[in-house]
Amino acid sequence: MTDALGPELLLELPGWGSRGRALEEALRSAIRGGRLVAGTRLPSSRDLASQLGLSRGTVTQAYEQLVAEGWLTARQGSGTRVAAGTAEAPARSGRSAGSAESAASARYDLRPGRPDGSAHARSPRHDLRPGRPDAYAFPREAWARAMRHVLREAPTEVFGFGDPRGRIELRTALASYLGRTRGVRVDPANLIVCSGYTQALGLLAEVFTELGVRTAGMEDPAIGDHVRLLAGRLRVAAVPVDASGLRVDALRDSGAEVAVCTPAHQFPLGVSMAPERRSELLEWADDSLGWIVEDDYDGEFRYDRHPIAALQSRRPSRIVYAGSTSKTIGPAVRLGWIACPPLLLEPLTEAKRRARETRPLEQLALARMIELGDYDRHLRTMRRGYQRRRDTLVAAVRSGLPDVRVRGIDAGLHALLELPAAPSERAIVEAARAASVDVHPLGEYVRGERDRHPPSLVVGYATPPAHSYPAALDALISGLRRL
């Protein structure tokens, strides 16, 4: 029976595909065309199922898919509504996204937080920077349910000072989850919860300095902020990365006592450390009693092959494993973790006690999501969505830029576009700017010899909401084609 107070919605379902896919496309078309404007409240799943003669489960799944893609929002008490900024903007004066008008709106320094100095500079229209998930896909409902439960059921002690290692509920849930999905071997007692990977790296730099470590070897290329964070306390040696991963021979020559690396999916080159290189790195740690810091920043996102287990599983006594929720849930949830060897537990716990406390309510909410399976379900949805985006990017590049090579696409949220025929990396960046596309050049991450790599762009395909992603790719392809 239809609720008379609920909104009605006229939709014509296309005749192809399943009924669920047809409903998704009908809703997308209505939003794209402006018939359903931002903020429009949609019927409940029960109402729409009754209106269209569909099962409620079909409507629910369609709503969930469009929420994940950013077309809709769903909040407790507010119902399902059309998300802001989803309608296609009408063309102005017949100009395309690649026109001079769009070029004038580009920001001329592609790094985040670095304006070009012009008083009139505006943000570029399309954001394809790496290292960012789709903020539209934040699991609002699951997170809200978990937080409501926590606020209702959490013991009073949660609102005071607690164990500097973090809540035992989350450490227990994480130990099980990391063992199940990443092969990490760790007891909850040896897990330290922190406020993201940046805090984890800062704590490690502090502890290594206290232990007398002088030099850390870090992959080259690597994220500049991470390099600078370590360099505040240690000498940082740039260790080259090739097609097999971090070069252990160069690590040995550097005299480093700590190796900081991304074995599963190197950032930004996207290579996975080869099995023989992994064995060499473990031998280095055994021979020199060195420490390995394993940054598993996007280990959950594997597309074309089975996930590669964390390196930590082969040497828990010498490897510090670090991860966070910044790619899986989003940077708004500042949660990370360190699976630390027993010898580092006491100094790391003391360093965490002196550092900023990690919010206990968010810790309990994440533990709840893991225990109920909501975290796994969210990751499955995101993995499918990001794989579709990856495939769309690859197809667009192969069709529109056949001379461009796409690298590092087996996993993660970014791809490396090599343009060997381009006059320079600067020319590539200028072309992207002219199309009002915000991307990062590979050279931004390189500290050693830049001519080891062809001119390249590091393109993040997770950042734009799903409804604007095709336009972002079109602008990128058209901009680079002008080269």
Give the model confidence (pLDDT) of 217-243 as tens digits.
999 999 999 999 999 999 999 999 999
In the block, which residue shows the tokens 């119902």? 79
Confidence of residue 107 (pLDDT cuts 50, 70, 90): very low
Q: Is pLDDT above 60 for 40?
A: yes
- The whole-number average pLDDT for the span 118-138 is 78
Q: Is pLDDT above 90 for 74?
A: no
Which segment of 60-74, 160-174, 246-260, 460-474 scores lowest on mean pLDDT?
A: 60-74
Q: What is the pTM of this model?
A: 0.75
Q: Is pLDDT above 70 for 86?
A: no
Per-chain mean pLDDT for the chain = 87
In terms of Cα–Cα distance, which of 193, 232, 237, 243 is closest to 357? Answer: 193
Confidence of residue 87 (pLDDT cuts 50, 70, 90): low
- The whole-number average pLDDT for the span 34-62 is 88
Most confident segment among 294-303, 364-373, 415-424: 364-373
Question: What percentage of the chain reaches a pLDDT higher than 70?
Answer: 90
Give the model confidence (pLDDT) of 153-195 as tens digits.
998 888 888 899 999 999 999 999 999 999 999 999 999 999 9
- The whole-number average pLDDT for the span 274-281 is 97
At residue 138, the pLDDT reads 94
Q: Is pLDDT above 50 for 374?
A: yes
